[in-house]
Structure 1
Amino acid sequence: MSEEGVMEIRLISKQEAFALPDIVQTIPKSIDKNSLNEIVKQLLKESHLDSVEDLEFDFIIVGELLRSTVGEHLSEKSISTESTVDIEYVERTPAPEPEDSILHDDWVSSIHTCAGKWILTGCYDHSVYLWTSHGKSIVSIKNHSDFVKDVKWISKDDPQKGFVSVSEDQTAVLWSWEEGTTKAKSVFVLKGHSRGIECVDVSPNTEKLATGGWDTTLKIWSASLEKDEEEPALKKSKSKDNVNVRTPINTLEGHKQAITSVQWMDPHNIITGSMDHTVRVWDAELNGMKNEIIGHKAFLSSSWSPLANSLLTSSADQYIRLYDPRSTEGAICRSSFISHTRWVSSVEWSPYSEYLFLSGGYDSKVMMWDTRSPKAPLFNLQDHMGKVFKVDWSNRNYLLSGGDDNHVHIFKNRN
């Protein structure tokens, strides 16, 4: 398809504040997003919209963000320029701004935020740390006897419900913490795994936990901090430090190698990724597997979005892949994203957008993506000095990452 000549387009927007009259425009096929942006701003100005100078727009053609000329984009999609083409414009996602950096004594394995004010981190020095969103140290706990591999607040909004940490020492610990204090109390030690625990997640109703690790089993636990003597999973004996020991409610078996990621899709279904090259969907009520995605490499991380109804995965290659795990077509990969140059260790969906997500890799890179632009990320965030182990977007206002340079980087989301 030649870049020469002109074509007709119709500019449309689903954002009411920027909607224009339905008018067909004639443009050169060689026009790019920057020139289109100026056209839209001029049309908005003529429509008496104030303050258009600071506006920036992106353009979506056939479901994908425009990153070349309009003619090249349509040629790649095998779309004719002989008929009028609809081009949707959306306000451009602004670049996140670097805010703070938190230095740890060892590698940072995990990060999770609560209420936009508190940051939990897990560290290879066997410790769990609690910080303010500005990087001030509040609580430091060294209760585990091996690497802490994952941490989660029980509630993303209420720190009073406590948090959980999991470790290579084969235990998980449920903690209580009172806001305004500098100490956390271990309420339950969760015992049942026979090898190190890699990952933990909390059900959306905050009632249960799910853990996975090197013993290949998925275990489900009560997330309650209450000492309910009627609970069948609660042992009446206590550990040497006088902390109650809790055992799992259920154990689900099927993976053949370590479980590297676990996430609740809803109160009844759990997704796990494994080094056995599979991602599995489990029914936590019926205690069985519902679906399976078979990959070509070990899965290192996964992230489910209820907004997009889609699953992101990263593997022991350079790819991030997008699936619908509920598909009856064998969970076909819907899209692939490649810009990392080494293993992608962590992916996480935005909590408010069905299109945006974060990734971090062993190439020291942290990237912010839009699923409508699979060929390149929206932004490359500040580089780490070593491997990135974890990215976190549990609060819409903050993008966080941690790795083997002992740092957590905090970026402010301006969207």
Structure 2
Amino acid sequence: MADAMDVDSDAPRIQINLSTRDAAFAVPLQTVRVQTSLRRFGLSTLVNHLLESPKPIPFDFLIDGQYLRTSIDEYLTSAGLSSEKPLDVEYVRAQVPPTYIGSFEQDDWISSVHLSSSAGAATILTGSFDGTAQITSLSGQVFAKTMPYHTQSVKAVTWVDQPSLTSSDPASFLTAGMDRTINLWSYQHSDEPPSSAAPLSATTTYISHKSTINSLSYSPSTSQFLSASSDNTIALWSTDSSLLPTVSAPQPTSFSRKRRRTTQKLPNTEKKGPLAVLTPHTAPVSQITHATDPTAAYSVSWDKSIITHDLVTAQVVDTRVTQHPLLSVTTLPSLNLIAAGSAARHITLHDPRASSGGQQTAVLRGHTNAVVSLARSPESDYLFASGSHDGCVRIWDVRRVAFSADTDSEDKTSGSLFLIKRESGVGKVFGVDWIRDVGLVSVGEDKKIQINRGELMADVTVLDQTGR
């Protein structure tokens, strides 16, 4: 097999052990001898030959957690290795850098984003520092905007029932913010943005928290949602208001009273309290997210901890304490991993299972400011994106990390695969989301929704793979 790759029979060769973790491209473990002058293209040709692919598939190659960006010989020289020793090479389908597609400006800083992916009705839901939320098309047309029920900035948004062109039922979404309240909104989607439309009105207001609400997570299978607050608590709610107690409206703050005098009188909403309030954290809770099992959730906090919750019993299942305040979290369920973004500019990977012993698995470095938002890839179990106050979005591949138990923590580090900068060139990134039908969307201080998608090979910095 390797002989077919050899042009010069006298050229230096090395034995390589080819393997992959992608079942779609797996072949029995192959040990072949190849020229050390081979680069990525030659190795990709070899793998396609082994797979008998009718159409060539581009592959990347990982050696000891690093993408091969030179010839094998150059890699051996830089790593101080001998061609006499077999080399383990993992092949993965090549990732296309997400190209800048476009950006759309709103009236104020954009704090959060959640994408809908219903067939024919993909939209972008955003929350803003002006106290409103907005629904935008992929071409930048505004479908709808909320009335200013929030008297301060909206900090979190999430779809409950996503828009659809095949159903007459209205969509709905939640917003939460610095005014300590959560609002539920109803929205009737149309494939044609209205030339003018009345702002959306809230139907229900959820009240419990005593400080800013930083995060929301909704579970479609249970019709329940979670909120995380700077008052150190997490609240559990249901979108079925009949299951919740009726409460009175919170007392307005001096800031909200001043803001309210400048706005129109708003229709009343029913006011509801939570099913339960969880108090395991000792500092502001930055983010909450449901696990694959909707009866469990993970939260991260400024108290440096990652906590696993049993939502049925409202009990703590597991607590992991890290070295730095944590600001964001996402799950990589097929890998049994949690990624947590920190105020110390890095991301740590953790195995949430009790049997893992509670140690962090790896550290991902590259951002130069706080990591405030994470979103996993819709196409690969191994990829996720991060947004940071350094004004950048980075894409990470966890296959670049050594996961063996006998590797010390300093070696278990990784640099990002791709770096995406703001088209505006300025401002912090506050939120990211990533779905197949839309792409990778980021929002931030520049007041813009920015869309990047893996379609063309341009406008994205492909980082050198030196572990930074």
What's the TM-score bracket when you normalise by the shorter of the two chains? 0.7 to 0.9
Does the Cα contact within 8 Å between 1:202 and 1:223 map onto a contact in 2?
Answer: no
Does the Cα contact within 8 Å between 1:300 and 1:315 map onto a contact in 2?
Answer: yes
Match of 2:109 among 93, 107, 110: 107
Does the Cα contact within 8 Å between 2:298 and 2:307 map onto a contact in 1?
Answer: yes
Q: Measure, in 2, the Cα distance between the counterparts of 1:333 and 1:68.
A: 31
1:409 and 2:425 are equivalent in the alignment: no
Deviation of 1:7 after TM superposition, in Å, equals: 1.9
What RMSD, in angstroms, separates the aligned Cα atoms of the two structures?
Answer: 3.2
Residue matched to 1:7: 14
1:380 and 2:419 are equivalent in the alignment: yes
Give the 3 Å change call, closer, same or farther, for CA 247–63 of structure 1 in structure 2. same
Residue matched to 1:284: 311
Does the Cα contact within 8 Å between 1:156 and 1:394 map onto a contact in 2?
Answer: no
Unaligned runs of 5+ in 1: none
Matches within 5 A, 1:290-329: 290-329=317-356
Residue matched to 2:272: 246
SS of 1:40's equivalent? helix
Residue matched to 1:191: 207
User: What letter is aligned with 2:103?
Assistant: S
User: What letter is aligned with 1:363?
Assistant: D
Q: Measure, in 2, the Cα distance between the counterparts of 1:405 and 1:390.
A: 12
Worse-superposed segment, 273-282 or 395-404: 395-404
Match of 2:225 among 189, 209, 212: 209
Q: Measure, in 2, the Cα distance between the counterparts of 1:371 and 1:169.
A: 38
Q: Measure, in 2, the Cα distance between the counterparts of 1:310 and 1:79.
A: 32
Matches within 5 A, 1:357-372: 357-372=384-399
Matches within 5 A, 1:1-400: 6-12=13-19, 14=22, 22=30, 24-28=32-36, 31=37, 35-41=39-45, 44=48, 49=53, 52=56, 55-61=57-63, 65-66=67-68, 70=72, 82-115=84-117, 117-141=122-146, 142-155=148-161, 160-180=170-190, 182=197, 183-205=199-221, 207-224=223-240, 228=242, 231=243, 233-235=244-246, 241-265=267-291, 266-373=293-400, 375-383=414-422, 384-395=425-436, 397-400=438-441
User: What letter is aligned with 2:440?
Assistant: L
Structure 1 residues 38-87: Cα deviation after superposition (integer angstroms, max 9, x where no partner): 243267469875554xx432013356543566478679999986454442
SS of 2:104's equivalent? strand
Q: Measure, in 1, the Cα distance between the counterparts of 2:53 and 2:296.
A: 47
Give the 3 Å change call, closer, same or farther, for CA 260–134 of structure 1 in structure 2. same
Structure 1 residues 247-274: Cα deviation after superposition (integer angstroms, max 9, x where no partner): 1000011211111101011211111111
User: What letter is aligned with 1:9?
Assistant: I
User: What letter is aligned with 1:146?
Assistant: Q
Structure 1 residues 349-386: Cα deviation after superposition (integer angstroms, max 9, x where no partner): 11342110101112111111111235332211132511
SS of 1:162's equivalent? strand
Structure 1 residues 72-110: Cα deviation after superposition (integer angstroms, max 9, x where no partner): 867999998645444232220111122221211111110
Structure 1 residues 184-217: Cα deviation after superposition (integer angstroms, max 9, x where no partner): 3312100111112111110241510100111111
Deviation of 1:305 after TM superposition, in Å, equals: 2.3
Q: Measure, in 1, the Cα distance between the counterparts of 2:312 and 2:400.
A: 37
Does the Cα contact within 8 Å between 2:44 and 2:60 map onto a contact in 1?
Answer: no
- Please report the TM-score for the alignment, with normalisation by the length of structure 1: 0.86
Does the Cα contact within 8 Å between 2:171 and 2:188 map onto a contact in 1?
Answer: no
User: What letter is aligned with 2:212?
Assistant: G
Q: Measure, in 1, the Cα distance between the counterparts of 2:333 and 2:89.
A: 27
Deviation of 1:337 after TM superposition, in Å, equals: 1.0
Deviation of 1:222 after TM superposition, in Å, equals: 0.3
Deviation of 1:242 after TM superposition, in Å, equals: 2.7
Identical aligned residues as a percent: 26
SS of 1:211's equivalent? strand
Unaligned runs of 5+ in 2: 1-10, 251-265, 402-413, 457-468
- Name the structure, 1 or 2, with higher relative contact order (CA <8 Å, separation 6+): 2
Does the Cα contact within 8 Å between 2:332 and 2:381 map onto a contact in 1?
Answer: yes
Does the Cα contact within 8 Å between 1:108 and 1:123 map onto a contact in 2?
Answer: yes
Does the Cα contact within 8 Å between 1:203 and 1:209 map onto a contact in 2?
Answer: yes
Give the 3 Å change call, closer, same or farther, for CA 25–161 of structure 1 in structure 2. same
SS of 2:170's equivalent? helix
Q: Measure, in 1, the Cα distance between the counterparts of 2:161 and 2:367.
A: 32
SS of 1:307's equivalent? helix
Deviation of 1:308 after TM superposition, in Å, equals: 2.4
SS of 1:360's equivalent? strand
SS of 1:184's equivalent? coil
SS of 1:174's equivalent? strand
Aligned length: 401
